[in-house]
């Protein structure tokens, strides 16, 4: 399945990955720029922030309270902001497009 992470400068970074991993893991394994993931997926660092492209927001569950409270204090948060370590990829996420913020954390 294909996921595209587009940088804040508009550079698309397409990767091939497998369902079952998180959107953060798929980025880190493929050396995507713009995802730091300092805490390794523990939902405590907020350096895996992404913006989901329009149309994809409803394909993931609502953020859990831990994710929401981290997002609350992040710079540059938008309604489509999520922490990518909390987003598990399913087969129907093939073609997913997200943007990474200009800086993380």
Q: Which is nearer to ligand FES, 10 or 89 (CB)?
A: 89
- Shortest distance (Å) from residue 1 CB to ligand FES: 21
Q: Tell me the HSE value of 43 on the side-chain side, using a 13 A CA sphere.
A: 13
Of 85, 80, 77, 79, residue with least CA distance to 103: 77
Among 3, 23, 26, 46, binds ligand FES (CB under 6 A): 46
Question: How many other CB atoms sit within 10 Å of the CB of residue 69?
Answer: 12
Of 69, 76, 26, residue with least CA distance to 49: 76
Q: Is 28 in the site for ligand FES (CB under 6 A)?
A: no
* Site mask for ligand FES (CB under 6 A), range 74-103, x = bound: ---------x-x------------------
By CB under 6 A, name the binding residues for ligand FES.
Answer: 24, 37-39, 41-48, 83, 85
């Amino acid at each position: 399945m294909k996921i595209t992470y587009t940088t804040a400068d508009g550079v698309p970074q397409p990767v091939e990955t497998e369902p079952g991993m998180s959107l953060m893991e798929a980025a880190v394994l493929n050396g995507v720029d713009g995802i730091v993931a300092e805490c390794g997926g523990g939902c405590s660092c907020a350096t895996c922030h992404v913006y989901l492209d329009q149309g994809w927001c409803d394909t993931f569950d609502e953020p859990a309270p831990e994710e929401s409270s981290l997002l609350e204090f992040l710079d540059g948060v938008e309604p489509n902001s999520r922490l990518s370590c909390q987003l598990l990829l399913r087969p129907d996420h093939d073609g997913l497009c997200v943007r990474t913020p200009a800086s993380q954390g």
